[in-house]
Structure 1
Amino acid sequence: MNLYTQFLSSNSSEITKLWESTCGDTIKIDKNTLSKLNLIIAKLGFAVQADPETEDKQKFKLRERIKELNLDEESCKKIHKYKSDLSKMAFHFARKATHGNPNATYTPFNRPTY
């Protein structure tokens, strides 16, 4: 089981609650689409400090997936809030999961500030 799958399965109830509290009342999408969004967001959260190239790829995939949903502006704001919260959860999960593990694929580094 890779780290993304581990994150999504071990936090499924929290992720469901987060979706219901931020988007579930107004945005109706099927479970398959939501699962794909969650995986993209989890990968984005893991890549935030470790891999800028992967982070950019996941942001692009997420934008494309959201465009396919044809959401109004209010729904897009809700999706953005959901993405922010879920990617933070994924980032902290990855940091805890790989802390002290020299074989971990997640390697944080300091990003330059502009």
Structure 2
Amino acid sequence: MNTIDPSAQTTLSPHQLQTIRRQAEELEGVFLNMLTKEMFASIKGNETVGGGGFGEETWRSMQSEQLANTMAQNGGIGLADDLMSQMITLQEAANTSRDLTSSNMIASSGVYGK
């Protein structure tokens, strides 16, 4: 897993940043899984070591999933980094919006509820 730069200007906690990093890597893993499945689908059964068949199709599916997850966890193709920066921006905007809504509710809950 890539380290998160603690000097980066953000209002999110380290735990939130780690959660976002994990989610971004999982999304990149899903994308890479789709790519590797398509790559393996282009291999004909008689060109493989197993000779084709249902068992090999099942094995190839698991292999592509593991390959994709390993690639994503070890830097991938950079998609997780891009996703993470966008997810941080969205989370900070949501936090700001929630904080503004909370402060407006407190300010408007005076004696007359206005």
Is the TM-score greater than 0.5? no
What is the TM-score with the length of structure 2 in the denominator?
0.36
What is the TM-score with the length of structure 1 in the denominator?
0.36
Please tell me whether Structure 1 or Structure 2 has the larger radius of gyration of its CA atoms.
Answer: 2
